[in-house]
Amino acid sequence: MASPRPASPPFGKGYFSVPFERFVSDEAFDHLTSAFTLLDTIETYFDSHVDLLQRKLQKHSDRLKLKAEETFKIKDLKLGDLKIKDLSGDLLAENLEKEIKSFKLKLSTRVTSLAASWQSAKVVRTREKVSFFFGVMTLLFSALMFGQAPQWVHIAYTAIGCYLLPLRWYIYKKRAWHYFLFDLCYYVTILNFIFFWFFPSSPALFVACYCLSHGSLASAVITWRNSLVFHDQDKVTSLFIHIYAPFSFTVIRHYYPNAEERFPALAAVPELNPWRALMLSGAIYAIWQLLYWKFVLVDRRAKIESGQRTTSFSFLLNDKRGVIGRALSAVPPAYREASFMGGQFVYALATEIPAVFLLYKSSFWSAVFLLLIFSVSVWNGGGFYIEVFGRKFERELEALRKEIAESSARASSTSGSSTPGTLSRGSSSTDLSNMHTRTDSSDSLHIDETIAQDPVLEKSSPIESKKDL
């Protein structure tokens, strides 16, 4: 019986010849280097913030030096009723100590304020990340669903709508924008859900929902400039409301397997009568318009006219740069509401013409129509990212340029200023008070500029939000 083979010696340090020792794995070293990736990530994240904090502290340090130099130049210092004629070393040190304490107090207050703003910004960034994840995954999920299981599209439309619509109501209610929720797009969305789950065998409701979804809702992506901006929940919600309705009805009409079994109304409408379709959708639209006029423009007129609430009508009327705003401004005030409602009705019927004459018959042109609408939203979203982040980068470069210029100016003024041993004889207590005023206003302006340069901390107005409805 062969003797067992002796155990191989461990390949540690000293086993190989010297040229090959550097290839030997050191377990302790490997254990330490396994954390390098995390440390590099932490360092990359905090480098920019540490650098920004160092620049701010350097700027405040330079200002403190300027204060000290101005203090050395003081001849007559008036504290209450006490006037100091000869500035001794002890009084100078005491005054300098008071200046430093006052500055530390101001700096502590502003750091606390900036910390609160930073915490708020962190919350906003987390919400934007969640919105980005939700938007991208919804897009991917919708594409996979369309290819693998189109019969689930209307279910996804309902589920996502039941999440986004109550959330939008809550947000708009807090901002006093909830009168926007009376608009046609929300009315049609609710009608779509009613057709899906309560009256799938109603041909009239199916025709009206199909036409309005491919008409007013789909065209709103173009007219209201909806943008595919994944990190902005408001823009994602607006795009979902306007594009998912025509997407769902296109799938039901052309790609849903055995659609007549799930939606018996399709069996009753093999071909769409254009004039009957326009009449049905026009009747549904007229019902909404009458309800909108009664509950918003009549019952809540006082709040709208006082500016407490904003509606689509008041927004378009005040938008003097838009075509609709300029046209309404030319109409006498007594006829503006009637002109607006009449124009909306004509616009709604006009946008349904492609659906009733072409899209209902052809799956190819329906797909082209959806691609066109979606490409407009992608183009608008690309413009948003390029312009917004481009402007942010420009502001940062401009702030850096100003900071370098200020540092250079301070360096040159410091080199030419007098030293503590050569006190000038001409300054008074008025100079000290003016110095305090200039420093306080300069510090406040610097803090305000720092906060304003962060777009996360900027809040959009109701008008800017409405542009994506």
* Mean pLDDT in residue range 308-326: 78
What is the predicted pLDDT for the residue at 22? Answer: 47
Could you say which DSSP state residue 77 is in?
E
Using alpha carbons, select from 280, 295, 286 the residue that is nearest to residue 342: 286
What is the predicted pLDDT for the residue at 418? Answer: 44
What is the predicted pLDDT for the residue at 253? Answer: 96
Q: Within 306-428, where are the H helices? A: 312-318, 323-329, 336-351, 353-354, 363-416
* Coil vs helix vs strand at 174: helix
**Cβ contact 336:196 at 8 Å:** no
H or E segment at 75?
Answer: none
Q: Is pLDDT at 25 greater than 70 in this prediction?
A: no
Q: Is pLDDT at 156 greater than 90 in this prediction?
A: yes
Q: pLDDT tens-digit profile of 198-228?
A: 999 999 999 999 999 999 999 999 988 899 9
* Mean pLDDT in residue range 439-447: 42
* Coil vs helix vs strand at 427: strand
Q: Is pLDDT at 99 greater than 60 in this prediction?
A: yes
Q: pLDDT tens-digit profile of 360-411?
A: 999 999 999 999 999 999 999 998 888 877 787 788 788 888 888 887 777 7
**Cβ contact 249:214 at 8 Å:** yes
- In whole numbers, what is the pLDDT of the chain averaged over residues? 76
Q: Which residues contact 13 (CB under 8 A, 6 or more apart)?
A: 21, 24, 26
What is the predicted pLDDT for the residue at 331? Answer: 85
**Cβ contact 317:336 at 8 Å:** yes
* Coil vs helix vs strand at 125: helix
pLDDT band at 455 (very low <50, low <70, confident <90, very high): very low
pLDDT band at 52 (very low <50, low <70, confident <90, very high): low
- The angle, 0 to 180 degrees and rounded to 10, between the axes of the packed helices 36-72 and 363-416 is 40
What is the predicted pLDDT for the residue at 49? Answer: 60
What is the predicted pLDDT for the residue at 171? Answer: 92
pLDDT band at 166 (very low <50, low <70, confident <90, very high): very high
What is the predicted pLDDT for the residue at 442? Answer: 43
What is the predicted pLDDT for the residue at 342? Answer: 92
Which residue did the predictor score with more confidence, 133 or 116? 133
Q: Is pLDDT at 47 greater than 70 in this prediction?
A: no
Q: Could you tell me whether strands 82-84 and 77-79 are parallel, antiparallel, or unpaired per DSSP bridges?
A: antiparallel
Q: Is pLDDT at 248 greater than 70 in this prediction?
A: yes
Question: Residue type at 4?
Answer: P
pLDDT band at 119 (very low <50, low <70, confident <90, very high): low
**Cβ contact 420:89 at 8 Å:** no
Q: Is pLDDT at 51 greater than 90 in this prediction?
A: no
pLDDT band at 26 (very low <50, low <70, confident <90, very high): low
Q: Which of 45-59, 78-92, 134-148, 332-346 has the lowest mean pLDDT?
A: 78-92
Question: Residue type at 304?
Answer: I
78 pairs with which residues across the strands?
Answer: 83
- Residue 5, sorted as left (phi over 0), alpha (psi -120 to 50) or beta, turns out to be beta
* Mean pLDDT in residue range 250-266: 95
pLDDT above 90: percentage of residues in the chain:
41
